[in-house]
Structure 1
Amino acid sequence: METITSAATSDLISRALSFLIDKFTNRECMEEKVQRLQLLLLRVRTVIEEADGRCITNSGMLMQLKLLSERMYRGYYVLENFKYRPIVQSAGQEVSSSPALASSFGASIKRFRMMSNSTTRSSTVDDLDGALRSLETMVDTMKEFVMLIGGCERVCCNPYDTYLYLDNFMFSRYVEKQHVLNTLLQKNFNNQGAPAILPIIGGHKVGKRTLVSQICSNEKIRSHFSSILHISEQVISRIEHEKFPCVRTLVVIEFMLDVNEDDWMKFYSCVSGMGEGTKVIIISRLEKLARFATVKPIHMKLLSQEEYSYLFKVLAFGSANPEDYPQLSSIGNELSTLMGRSCIIGNVLADVLRKNLNTQFWFHVLKRYKGTLENNMLLFGDHPRSIACKDRPIDITKLIYYPAPFQILPPHVGCDVSATQLPRVTFGDLIVGSAAPPKEMFELMTWESRLPPYSKIVRICVQNKTQNAAPLRKKRRGVVA
Structure 2
Amino acid sequence: MEIFLSAVLGELASRSINFFISKISKPRVVLDVEDSLQRALLRAQVIIDEATGRHITNQAMLQQLDMLRDAMYQGRYKLDAFRYQYHDEEDAKDQVVSHSSSLLKLNSVKGIFSCKTKTQILEQLEDALDNLSSMILDVKELVVFLTGYPRLYHQPYSMHLLLSNCMFGRQMEAELVLNFLLHTQPNGVEELEVLPVVGPARVGKSTLVAHVCSDERVRDHFSEIVFVSDHDFKDEELTHLWERCVKKCQNSTPSKYWRTLVVVEVAGDINETEWKRLYAASKRCMTIGSKIIITSRSDKIAKLGTTRAVTLKYLSEEAYWYFFKTLAFGSTDPTMHPRMAYVAMEIARMLNRSLISATSTACLLRDKFDIPFWCKVLTFLRGLIKWHASSFGEHPSDAQRQNKPAHLVRMVRTS
Task: Give TM-score, length-normalised by structure 1.
Answer: 0.76
- 1:281-328 per-residue CA deviation (whole Å, 9 max, x = no partner) reads 111111112121111110001111111010100001012111110111
1:337 Cα deviation after fit: 2.3
Alpha-carbon separation, structure 2, partners of 1:161 and 1:204? 31
Q: Residue 81 of structure 2 contacts residue 113 of structure 2 at CA under 8 Å; is this kept in 1?
A: no
Q: Residue 375 of structure 1 contacts residue 395 of structure 1 at CA under 8 Å; is this kept in 2?
A: no
RMSD: 2.9
Alpha-carbon separation, structure 2, partners of 1:284 and 1:43? 37
Written as runs of structure 1 = structure 2, the 5 A alignment for 1:227-376 is: 227-238=224-235, 240-242=238-240, 244=242, 247-273=258-284, 274-376=286-388
Alignment gaps of 5+ in structure 1: 403-431, 435-481
Alpha-carbon separation, structure 1, partners of 2:314 and 2:166? 11
Q: What letter corresponds to residue 240 of structure 2 in structure 1? A: E
Q: What letter corresponds to residue 77 of structure 1 in structure 2? A: Y
Q: Does 1:36 align with 2:47?
A: no
Higher relative contact order (CA 8 A, sep 6+): 2
More displaced stretch, 56-65 vs 77-86: 77-86
Q: Residue 385 of structure 2 contacts residue 395 of structure 2 at CA under 8 Å; is this kept in 1?
A: yes
Q: Residue 260 of structure 2 contacts residue 291 of structure 2 at CA under 8 Å; is this kept in 1?
A: yes
- 1:377-414 per-residue CA deviation (whole Å, 9 max, x = no partner) reads 212222222222223343434xx223xxxxxxxxxxxx
Alpha-carbon separation, structure 2, partners of 1:6 and 1:183? 81
Question: Could you tell me which residue of structure 2 aligns to residue 83 of structure 1?
Answer: 83
Q: Residue 265 of structure 2 contacts residue 294 of structure 2 at CA under 8 Å; is this kept in 1?
A: yes
Q: Residue 240 of structure 1 contacts residue 267 of structure 1 at CA under 8 Å; is this kept in 2?
A: yes
Q: Does 1:207 align with 2:204?
A: yes
Question: Could you tell me which residue of structure 2 aligns to residue 131 of structure 1?
Answer: 128
Q: What letter corresponds to residue 238 of structure 2 in structure 1? A: E
> Number of residues paired by the alignment?
399
Question: Could you tell me which residue of structure 2 aligns to residue 389 of structure 1?
Answer: 401
Question: Could you tell me which residue of structure 2 aligns to residue 48 of structure 1?
Answer: 48
Alpha-carbon separation, structure 2, partners of 1:247 and 1:85? 57
1:50 Cα deviation after fit: 0.5
Q: Residue 160 of structure 2 contacts residue 331 of structure 2 at CA under 8 Å; is this kept in 1?
A: no
Alignment gaps of 5+ in structure 2: 244-256
Q: Residue 269 of structure 2 contacts residue 296 of structure 2 at CA under 8 Å; is this kept in 1?
A: no
Q: Does 1:60 align with 2:72?
A: no
Alpha-carbon separation, structure 2, partners of 1:172 and 1:385? 19
Q: Which protein is richer in helix relative to its size?
A: 2
Q: What letter corresponds to residue 43 of structure 1 in structure 2? A: R
More displaced stretch, 135-144 vs 189-198: 189-198
Written as runs of structure 1 = structure 2, the 5 A alignment for 1:403-418 is: none
Q: Residue 271 of structure 1 contacts residue 278 of structure 1 at CA under 8 Å; is this kept in 2?
A: no
1:158 Cα deviation after fit: 8.9
What is the aligned-residue identity percentage? 35
Q: Does 1:196 align with 2:193?
A: yes
1:35 Cα deviation after fit: 1.1
Question: Could you tell me which residue of structure 2 aligns to residue 380 of structure 1?
Answer: 392
187 and 160 in structure 1: CA distance in 2 versus 1, 3 angstrom threshold: farther
Q: Does 1:94 align with 2:91?
A: no
1:13 Cα deviation after fit: 5.0
Q: Secondary structure at the match of 1:154?
A: coil
395 and 235 in structure 1: CA distance in 2 versus 1, 3 angstrom threshold: closer
Q: Residue 88 of structure 1 contacts residue 116 of structure 1 at CA under 8 Å; is this kept in 2?
A: no
Alpha-carbon separation, structure 2, partners of 1:333 and 1:84? 8
Q: Secondary structure at the match of 2:233?
A: helix
Q: Residue 169 of structure 1 contacts residue 343 of structure 1 at CA under 8 Å; is this kept in 2?
A: no
Alpha-carbon separation, structure 1, partners of 2:5 and 2:96? 48
11 and 396 in structure 1: CA distance in 2 versus 1, 3 angstrom threshold: farther
Q: What letter corresponds to residue 271 of structure 2 in structure 1? A: N
308 and 281 in structure 1: CA distance in 2 versus 1, 3 angstrom threshold: same
2:171 pairs, out of 171, 174, 188, with: 174
1:61 Cα deviation after fit: 0.7
Task: Give TM-score, length-normalised by structure 2.
Answer: 0.87
Q: What letter corresponds to residue 193 of structure 1 in structure 2? A: E
Q: What letter corresponds to residue 57 of structure 1 in structure 2? A: T
More displaced stretch, 52-61 vs 200-209: 200-209
Q: What letter corresponds to residue 94 of structure 1 in structure 2? A: Q
More displaced stretch, 295-304 vs 386-395: 386-395
